[in-house]
């Protein structure tokens, strides 16, 4: 009894096939039995209460009040970087293992006001720093369908929870690819909206100018619906896109699979020699289908892509070094007993801050260095200048095409600890996802099939101009339908 979309779930509610409580109990049972380590905290009591209230609502009218509550009875998982009032929020760090926020993130509040049910808080790389979910103080997360493989990161728990049917949909956050990479590895839809589309209030900050919350779902429609509910100005976040947010679901089915007139950009940097050959072959087949459906393929180039990793690892670590300062064992962060015995304030800070994991420490040190007097101009300031060039690359290609398609990363999911332990090589894994964050663009990973005999899922990267989230979703949905119709999607 698993539903591919919110519409299917609502149909079952309407037909009396199931109730919110039954669905929630089903998921709670699966979570208990699962060995994926997807969840850090299961909000059993809270979600049961929410489900009972939904049961009563449904009993009263006999019908899902989908106009008022578009997410009625949809059980969700939240990346444990997002705050829920009164519920432990850890960011997968020892530092925050006891942190109970006094407020709820705007994105979660809006989902739940629209009827969503919060099953729990899911695992991630500590403070969202990592790409394989191995940097969690709560242990690594397993791939939903391929035991021993990484689900990707940093929203690894969010991806596995959806892929392994431990929730209907989840929230992730994407600073340099943290939604799209795990979606690609796990064969689900992962959408990073434009920067400023969804409030960051209640998102424990990693890199403030890059962080963006987004949905991880089984369908583009669900991603659009969740985004529609969460998007729009919030008085508590002043760096948002101004004005009314579009109704993302409205135009979704208009276009069908007719792609005539759509100019699809194919950036050569996203289709290079470094791609896994099996993956590359499937992606090229999809490209051919897109063309056959009437789209015009346009070869384009984003020449500054090669600098994106350097730029990202200066901007992101600089902001992170500042954002994580508050975790000092004084106001926030665990203060170990021996810190109270310290002979000076400095030493007290040292003892408390040793609780950060090694990747987090590495990034704080790098960021502190990059912002230091005497180095600021050469590193942080220069990085911001090149960041503008990367954004200009996109501005110029979007005069020639409407959307871009390419790979999310060079490989499909890999076995845990199989990858290089050299962080520099791991960082290079992000080269195709980072540019969209640096330029603030909406980008999505669409599952397009599996490769090799082991049937590893892969995703297609779709990127649209800034603030054109609705065009991106519409295009992605056309592709979803197109590929489904061609019955080449191995996930049904």
Q: Does 440 interact with other proteins (rule: CB under 8 A)?
A: no
Catalytic one of 93, 158, 173, 178:
178
Tell which one of 55, 165, 233, 328 touches other proteins (CB under 8 A). 328
Q: Does 239 interact with other proteins (rule: CB under 8 A)?
A: yes
For other proteins, the closer of residues 238 and 453 by Cβ is 238
- Token look-up 């796990």 returns 186
Q: For residue 73, how many other CB atoms are within 10 A of its CB?
A: 28
Tell which one of 83, 154, 245, 280 touches other proteins (CB under 8 A). 83
- Token look-up 């991880």 returns 216
Considering only residues 266 through 285, tell me which ones interact with other proteins, judged by CB under 8 A. Answer: none
For 399-438, b where at least 16 C-beta lie within 10 A, e where not — what string? eebbbbbbbbbbbbbbebeebeeeeeebbebbbbbbbbbb
Considering only residues 346 through 375, tell me which ones interact with other proteins, judged by CB under 8 A. Answer: 349, 368, 371-373
Q: 379: which residues sit within 8 A by CB, 6+ positions away?
A: 314, 318, 369, 370, 371
Q: Does 158 interact with other proteins (rule: CB under 8 A)?
A: no
Q: Does 326 interact with other proteins (rule: CB under 8 A)?
A: yes
For other proteins, the closer of residues 82 and 482 by Cβ is 82
| Length of the chain measured in residues | 492
Q: How far is the CB of 159 from other proteins (least distance, A)?
A: 22
**Known active-site residue 154:** yes
Question: 124 near 156, Cβ under 8 Å?
Answer: yes
* Nearest alpha carbon to residue 413 among 158, 160, 124: 160
Among the candidate windows 95-103, 186-194, 413-421, 464-472, which touches other proteins by CB under 8 A?
A: 95-103
Residue 185: its H or E element: helix 180-186
# residues contacting other proteins (CB under 8 A): 44
Tell which one of 2, 68, 236, 254 touches other proteins (CB under 8 A). 236
Question: 429 near 477, Cβ under 8 Å?
Answer: no
267 by DSSP, 3-state: which? Answer: strand
Considering only residues 184 through 223, tell me which ones interact with other proteins, judged by CB under 8 A. Answer: 200-205, 207-209
Q: Does 337 interact with other proteins (rule: CB under 8 A)?
A: no
Tokens coding 346: 């400095």
Q: Does 91 interact with other proteins (rule: CB under 8 A)?
A: yes
Q: How far is CA 408 from the centre of its chain?
A: 13
Q: Does 66 interact with other proteins (rule: CB under 8 A)?
A: no
Tell which one of 96, 252, 275, 432 touches other proteins (CB under 8 A). 96
Q: Does 332 interact with other proteins (rule: CB under 8 A)?
A: yes
Q: How far is the CB of 318 from other proteins (least distance, A)?
A: 6
φ/ψ of residue 463, rounded to 5: -130, 140
Q: Does 327 interact with other proteins (rule: CB under 8 A)?
A: yes
Q: How far is the CB of 93 from other proteins (least distance, A)?
A: 10
- Token look-up 């940093």 returns 154
Distance CA 221, CA 226 (A): 9
129 by DSSP, 3-state: which? Answer: coil
Handedness of CA 80, 81, 84, 88 (dihedral sign): positive
Catalytic one of 93, 154, 199, 445:
154
Residue 451: its H or E element: strand 443-451
For other proteins, the closer of residues 201 and 419 by Cβ is 201
Distance CA 188, CA 239 (A): 29
Q: For residue 329, how many other CB atoms are within 10 A of its CB?
A: 21
Tokens coding 263: 């100019």
Q: How far is the CB of 103 from other proteins (least distance, A)?
A: 5
For other proteins, the closer of residues 387 and 468 by Cβ is 387
Considering only residues 377 through 406, tell me which ones interact with other proteins, judged by CB under 8 A. Answer: 380
Q: Does 307 interact with other proteins (rule: CB under 8 A)?
A: no
**Known active-site residue 21:** no
Q: Does 313 interact with other proteins (rule: CB under 8 A)?
A: no
Q: How far is the CB of 414 from other proteins (least distance, A)?
A: 31
For other proteins, the closer of residues 3 and 197 by Cβ is 197
Q: Does 89 interact with other proteins (rule: CB under 8 A)?
A: yes
Question: 43 near 77, Cβ under 8 Å?
Answer: no
DSSP strands (E only) in 17-102: 39-42, 75-79
* Nearest alpha carbon to residue 169 among 112, 127, 226, 241: 226
Q: How far is the CB of 260 from other proteins (least distance, A)?
A: 40
For other proteins, the closer of residues 152 and 333 by Cβ is 333
For the residues of 237-266, what is the DSSP string, one character each?
BSSSPPSPPP-TTTTTTTSTT--TT-EEEE
The angle that helices 358-371 and 308-323 make with each other, rounded to 10 degrees, is 100
Among the candidate windows 17-25, 272-280, 321-329, 475-483, which touches other proteins by CB under 8 A?
A: 321-329
Q: Does 331 interact with other proteins (rule: CB under 8 A)?
A: yes
Tell which one of 87, 112, 222, 319 touches other proteins (CB under 8 A). 319
Residues catalogued as catalytic: 79, 154, 178
Q: Which residues bind other proteins (CB under 8 A)?
A: 82-83, 89, 91, 96, 99, 101-103, 105, 200-205, 207-209, 235-239, 318-319, 321-322, 324-328, 330-332, 345, 349, 368, 371-373, 376, 380
């Amino acid at each position: 009894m698993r539903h591919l979309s919110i519409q299917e779930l609502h149909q079952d509610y309407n037909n009396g096939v199931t109730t919110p409580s039954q669905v929630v109990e089903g998921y709670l049972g699966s979570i208990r039995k699962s060995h994926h380590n997807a969840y850090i905290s299961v909000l059993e009591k809270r979600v049961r209460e929410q489900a009972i209230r939904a049961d009563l609502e449904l009993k009263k009218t006999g019908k899902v009040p989908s106009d008022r509550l578009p997410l009625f009875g949809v059980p969700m998982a939240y990346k444990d970087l997002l705050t829920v009032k009164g519920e432990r929020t850890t960011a997968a760090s020892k530092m925050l293992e006891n942190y109970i926020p006094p407020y709820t993130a705007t994105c979660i509040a809006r989902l739940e006001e629209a009827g969503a049910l919060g099953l729990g808080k899911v695992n991630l790389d500590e403070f969202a720093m990592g790409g394989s979910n191995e940097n969690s103080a709560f242990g690594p997360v397993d791939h939903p369908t391929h035991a021993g493989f990484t689900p990707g990161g940093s929203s690894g728990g969010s991806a596995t929870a959806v892929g392994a049917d431990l929730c209907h949909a989840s929230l992730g956050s994407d600073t340099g690819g943290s939604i799209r990479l795990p979606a690609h590895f796990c064969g689900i839809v992962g959408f990073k909206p434009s920067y400023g589309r969804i409030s960051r209030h209640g998102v424990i900050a990693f890199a403030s100018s890059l962080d963006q919350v987004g949905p991880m779902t089984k369908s583009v429609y669900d991603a659009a619906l969740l985004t529609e509910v969460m998007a729009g100005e919030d008085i508590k976040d002043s760096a948002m896109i101004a004005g009314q947010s579009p109704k993302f679901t409205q135009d979704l089915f208009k276009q069908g699979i007719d792609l005539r007139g759509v100019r699809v950009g194919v950036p050569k940097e996203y289709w290079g020699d470094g791609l896994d050959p099996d993956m590359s072959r499937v992606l090229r087949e999809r490209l051919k289908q897109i063309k056959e459906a009437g789209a015009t393929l346009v070869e384009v180039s984003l020449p500054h892509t090669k600098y994106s990793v350097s730029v990202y690892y200066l901007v992101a670590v600089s902001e992170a070094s500042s954002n994580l300062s508050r975790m000092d064992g004084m106001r926030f962060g665990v203060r170990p007993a021996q810190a109270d015995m310290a002979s000076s304030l400095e030493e007290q800070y040292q003892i408390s801050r040793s609780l950060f994991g090694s990747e987090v420490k590495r990034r704080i040190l790098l960021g502190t260095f990059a912002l230091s007097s005497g180095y600021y101009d050469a590193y942080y300031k220069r990085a911001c200048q090149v960041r503008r060039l990367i954004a200009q690359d996109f501005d110029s290609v979007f005069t020639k095409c409407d959307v871009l398609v390419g790979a999310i990363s060079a490989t499909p999911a890999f076995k845990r600890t199989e990858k290089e332990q050299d962080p520099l090589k791991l960082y290079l894994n992000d080269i195709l996802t980072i540019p969209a964050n640096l330029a603030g663009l909406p980008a999505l990973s669409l599952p397009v099939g599996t490769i090799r005999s082991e049937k590893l899922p892969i995703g297609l990267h779709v990127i649209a101009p800034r603030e054109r989230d609705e065009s991106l979703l519409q295009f992605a949905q056309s592709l979803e339908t197109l590929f489904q119709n061609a019955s080449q999607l191995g996930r049904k």
